[in-house]
A and B are shown apart, each in its own frame.
Chain A
Amino acid sequence: MMAKYIIQRIIYMLITLFIIASATFVLMQFLPGSPFNELGGKMTAEQEEILLEEYGLNDPVPVQYARYISNMVQGDLGVSFQYDNRSVTSIILDRLGPSAHLGAQALVIGSILGIILGMVAAIRHNTWVDYSSNVIAVIGISIPSFVFAGLLQYYFAVQWRIFPPSFWEGPIYTVLPTVALMIFPMAICARFMRTEMLEVLGSDYIELARAKGVSNNTIMFKHALRNALIPVITVLGPMTVSLMTGTLVIEQIFAVPGIGEQFVRSISVNDYPVIMGTTMLFSVLFVVVILVVDLLYGLIDPRIRLTGGKD
């Protein structure tokens, strides 16, 4: 049952990815300019013609499309137009590491802190603890991360010299960008968790648990937490992707060689294969995360578990 469901979902995922790949290809045709524009002054028309021929850009669009798709199916994302024939895969892998590292760190720490914050706020609801966690959450949601990034960099790196201000040379270099990145997921989780927890704590089944003589701690962790987590997981899914694939501004501020920064550069110089490759990577991550979230739901909430319905 479960295996059948997963296989079905994977087939849908492949169809989705095919549509995304085709759409990106079509959109790419509308991008103004050619990959070799930048070198325009230094190249004769003849040289440019040779390059276009070499990369197959003179072929009719359907031929290019067919070639692109068939290469992709075989796992070949092509060669960059910009980096001396480096393969797209190697460029992406090079750049993905730091982004994924930062994103994972920010996501794990941010969401755990947020969940704790939201839980504490709900338990101590309408006290100063609740109010201050609310203030933190509102600040985290409404102030963009680059403002925090700037402030963190100024105080912790420039003024107090606790952490290095930029670059990517070791764990200590990840601290400031992680903190800047994690504030948003933390705030979102705290908000959701507080609301959900309050709702769950007011529910009849929690009262029944109390009526059984269950202690408060057991009620919190065994009865309430699991039920309150369900909606939080929904927001965590898409957030994972956006964090793992890097936030351009944060990477720029801390000079992190991540994929977000690479993506924007590729667009501005019409490096088609890299744009396509990166888009596909984001898409794959996204659909995988959605699948994982759906499976997680089933793990946490038996009502949406797939094996067997009402019987």
Chain B
Amino acid sequence: MDDSILDVRNLHVTFDTYGGKVQAVRGVNFSLKKGETLAIVGESGSGKSVTTKALMGLVAKPAGKIPKGEILFEDKDLAKLTEKQMQKIRGKDLSMIFQDPMTSLNPTMKIGKQIMEGLILHQNLSKTNAKKRALELLELVGIPDPVKRIDQYPHQFSGGMRQRVVIAIALACNPKILIADEPTTALDVTIQAQILELMKDIQEKMDTSIIFITHDLGVVANVADRVAVMYAGKIVEIGTVDDVFYNPKHPYTWGLLGSMPTVDSEEEKLIAIPGTPPDLIHPPKGDAFAARNEYIMQIDLEEEPPMFKVSDTHYAATWLLHEDAPDVNPPQAVKKRISDARRNKSSVEEVRD
């Protein structure tokens, strides 16, 4: 994979707590291609945010550590860099959009200054030039009347406008990788759509690679090229959007798809995945999903499943893909979802054409 810009190999992140060592991320592997959008989905506590914090070097020290693994970016292993070296990369090559725009801007600093800070730091711009660039950025993210807005404070902006400012900050230095940690979760639905549209737009203009964290599968289908499904600190299934949505292989992915409400789901109730995620202080032996798996086999309790190859782009970590495993099909409800989604998609495409 020559066009990959970021390679994460066997990444582990742990946190020391009073209860013990939490193994938040337990061996994550993925690569990110130039200009693509990779979505990471999973429920709360699956390690998706921690993974991206590790990429940014923002794992809270001293409790958080990266005991194993590599984050390869431009011939450098980000996991091994010092804080000082990371400061040069953060905000320049890698930048981040946060979840809650209401709290992620400094309330006592003008937004212009907050945007200019990175420019002055990484691109050695003079104040005047940084301000000029900040105005361009505000324009780019669709904030009306930037000349006036640049001298205002965050409390003078609405939630959606603040998220646009946060995006402008993240884009300031033309980052090669943009990490968006649930950027639309805290926004209302109409604003969500606008922000997603904006991000797609920007990606086209700037050719940035995006890692998009979300637990909203609807958003994934909308923005991503590829999807990684995380469970209990590991990626359990990864593939293109079509692979994962229309040909899911992991029972956890089935569960996620089954629990997603759709427009025509009024006749059926939502299917919840039974049970709770495992305790990551003492991760279970074998497959971490075993306890919640309807199709559990003896080997799930004994050995962790490796990543089985489904196709060149599609991999999943479940023993069900082993050649000796019985042939198991997704539950009827999930199949129906998949076929519904397919039909919707093709009809949308027809309309577009």
Contact = CB atoms under 8 A, between A and B. Distances in A.
B169 A207 contact: no
B98 A213 contact: no
A205 B169 contact: no
B98 A303 contact: no
Interface stretch (B83-91, B132-140, B305-313): B83-91
B106 A227 contact: yes
Contacts of A207: 58, 98, 104
Interface residues of A, number: 23
Contacts of A210: 58, 90
B90 A211 contact: yes
Given A213-B90, A213-B121, A208 B166 contact: yes
B90 A223 contact: no
A211 B87 contact: no
Nearest to B118: A212
B86 to A, nearest CB: 8
Contacts of B109: 222-223
A205 B99 CA distance: 11
Contacts of A310: 155-156
Given A207-B98, A303-B153, A310-B156, A212 B169 contact: yes
Q: Which of A211, A215, A216, A310 has most B Cβ within 10 Å? A: A211
A147 interface: no
A64 to B, nearest CB: 52
A94 interface: no
A214 B87 contact: yes
A203 interface: yes
A214 B156 contact: no
B16 to A, nearest CB: 12
A125 to B, nearest CB: 11
A60 interface: no
Contact of B92 (A209, A213, A311): A213
Given A212-B90, A212-B95, A213-B88, A205 B104 contact: yes
22 contacts: A204-B98, A204-B99, A205-B103, A205-B104, A205-B106, A207-B58, A207-B104, A208-B98, A208-B169, A209-B106, A210-B90, A211-B91, A211-B170, A212-B172, A213-B89, A214-B117, A223-B109, A226-B108, A302-B110, A302-B153, A302-B155, A310-B156
Interface of B: 56, 58, 83, 86-92, 95-96, 98-100, 103-110, 117-118, 121-122, 153, 155-156, 166, 169-170, 172
Interface of A: 203-205, 207-216, 222-223, 226-227, 300-303, 310-311
The 9 closest A-B pairs by CB, nearest first: A213-B91, A212-B91, A213-B90, A204-B104, A302-B153, A204-B103, A211-B96, A205-B106, A212-B118
